[in-house]
Amino acid sequence: MTSQPLSERLSAGYRRFRAGRYNDERVRYDELAREGQKPRTMIVACSDSRSAPETIFDAGPGELFVVRNVAALVPVYAPDAKSHGASAALEFAVLGLEVDSIVVMGHGRCGGVGAALDPASRLTDSDFIGAWVADLKTLDEQTPASITGGAEERQRLIEHLSVQQSLEHLRTFPWIAERERAGTLTLHGAWFDISLGELHALAGSEWLPQPYDQAG
């Protein structure tokens, strides 16, 4: 099987990386190559190109173990010998890397959530997306229309509820639940507002904007 060369845009980005960040952090990359990765935090995030965790948290190489999928969903624990990308990543992070925190981070204007809420979306009739976002449709059906205003507010609510549901799904994994009870693993919910560049964190059942330096 053959592969096409990388685009010039990607190649140019790589050259900038080599001349800039890699050169600046060469010692760190060498250390990671010799000693392996030891991230303390795993982040479950959306594949959306606008919400990259490494950028939002200004993380350096080796700091975050990240799995990204459509709508930042965590499935229920289901060891059925089938392919489970998100579950395998969780297992690797918790049992292999022994991370001490997992963050589920959704974001505003999520295309996956939008597809689940839109009856006319052709994406939910495709081979994989419809089944993947089925839980979001259920969340929408179980949430009374009276508690939200327009479509944008409705989607934001489902984005928030989706993060909370994924946190509950994390607790169906026995080795996650065990470590949370023992106090060696903490679970966190977050939501990134793309339009404002603001991060909101789930505290109990309340979403709180995180403070930041507004200089500049």
What is the DSSP annotation of 24-65?
Answer: HTHHHHHHHHHH----SEEEEEE--TT--HHHHTT--TTSEE
One digit per residue, the tens of pLDDT, for the chain of length 216 reads 899 999 999 999 999 999 999 999 999 999 999 999 999 999 999 999 999 999 999 999 999 999 999 999 999 999 998 889 999 999 999 999 999 999 999 999 999 999 999 988 988 888 999 999 999 999 999 988 877 678 899 999 999 999 999 999 999 999 999 999 999 999 999 999 999 999 999 999 999 999 988 765
**Residue 204, Ramachandran bin (φ over 0: left; ψ between -120 and 50: alpha; else beta):** left
DSSP-derived pairing of the beta strands 41-46 and 101-107 = parallel
87 touches 172 (CB < 8 A): no
For position 146, what pLDDT does the model report? 75
For position 39, what pLDDT does the model report? 98
Q: Which residues pair with 199 in a beta bridge?
A: 192
Rounded Cα–Cα distance for residues 86 and 69 (Å): 8
For position 124, what pLDDT does the model report? 86
Rounded Cα–Cα distance for residues 5 and 46 (Å): 27
> The tokens of 89 are what?
């990543």
In the chain the domains, ranked by start, together with CATH numbers, are 1-36 (no CATH), 38-209 (3.40.1050.10)
Q: What does the angle CA 5 – CA 7 – CA 10 come to, to the nearest 5 degrees? A: 115
For position 215, what pLDDT does the model report? 60
**Longest CA span, the chain:** 57
> The tokens of 91 are what?
């297992």
The dihedrals phi and psi of 203, each to the nearest 5 degrees, come to: -120, 105
